[in-house]
Copies of this chain bind each other. A is one copy, B any other.
Amino acid sequence: MNKPPNRTLTLRDVSEASGVSEMTVSRVLRNRGDVSDATRKRVLASAKALGYVPNKIAGALASSRVNLVAVIIPSMSNLVFPEVMMGINEVLEETELQPVMGLTDYTREKEEKVLYEMLSWRPSGVIIAGLEHSDASRAMLRASGIPVVEIMDVDGTPVDSVVGISHRRAGEQMGRAILKGGYRRIGFMGTTMPRDHRARKRFEGLTDVLGKAGVEIAEREFYSGGSALLKGREMTQALLGRDPDLDFLYYSNDLIGAGGLLWLLEQGYDIPAKIGLAGFNGLNLLKGLPRELATMDACRFEIGRRAAQIIADRAQPDADQAPQRIALEPKISYGDTLRRP
């Protein structure tokens, strides 16, 4: 038995074990340049026998190439972001880039801190949720000189590239569908999250369209934390308690919408004839409810894919560095809870 090393192995160890220069070992391990087959085999054998694992820290410093992509998102408990990550992963897996995640908890202070940390690793690109950042964050992003893709939302001015949907338009679109469905007395439920700019934009789009038709939001209710499903129930009950004549409920996410739906069904409400419902996100979860909730797909997976693709493309030598703007088009899914025109 070999005694395990008390320090980690270096190229030099492999070099000595195989009798070739460090440089040749390096070439073999990276599949670079011409190395004779015999040498290659010998080196590989030595490396494996020793259990050598290259030191990327040193490699990155020497080559000033870091195959990391910083992904900065608000939270993981919001079902939306894991799906974005999966899209990113799917694309980066085909490359040598690796995503590294940072969480902001929906606060600008943390975003700034996380961004600083991330940038200090000199990643090959940054994917960051939202278009609203502190001036300092924006300055860091610009000064970094690396590709930046802001995701989820396209309503605003990006630092560099942007991939998302227009939440304002999504709200407008839903507003139109609600009106066409003949609904007139509308309640709104959402999070109190002060920094949920995207929900705010949807809400503004909605109220705009309704307003132009002379319709106002009759009641609203906000929540934070806890089981979204349960909150959906509670808020729905509260809202209808205050105004029993509501004929449509718009939820800022599918989970509270599902809670509301379950409660309404238990109470025997006639959906979507007497009261209509819609959520937002297009969660897979909705398939399997007693009725399928009307919703709009936030294109989460695709957003992740496209953003990663931009970074991957730009990481190629002499790639086109022009900023991209990709606005995806979400479609309304009527499900069983929104009367069709």
Contact = CB atoms under 8 A, between A and B. Distances in A.
A262 B288 CA distance: 8
Copies of the chain in the assembly:
2
A77 B66 contact: no
Interface in A33-87: 51, 53-58, 60-61, 66, 76-77, 82-83, 85-86
Interface in A1-35: 4-6, 8
A331 interface: no
Contacts of A229: 285, 287-289
A318 interface: no
A270 interface: no
B83 A120 contact: no
Interface residues of A, number: 58
A227 B56 contact: no
Interface string A253-273: 001000100100010000000
B143 A4 contact: yes
A61 B57 contact: yes
Interface stretch (A95-103, A170-178, A213-221): A95-103
A287 B76 CA distance: 20
A262 B233 contact: no
Nearest to A256: B288
Closest 4 pairs between A and B when the two form their complex, measured CB to CB: A229-B288, A230-B288, A76-B82, A227-B287
A268 to B, nearest CB: 13
A139 interface: yes
A103 B89 CA distance: 9
Give the most central of A53, A101, A228, A290: most B CB within 10 Å: A53
A117 interface: yes
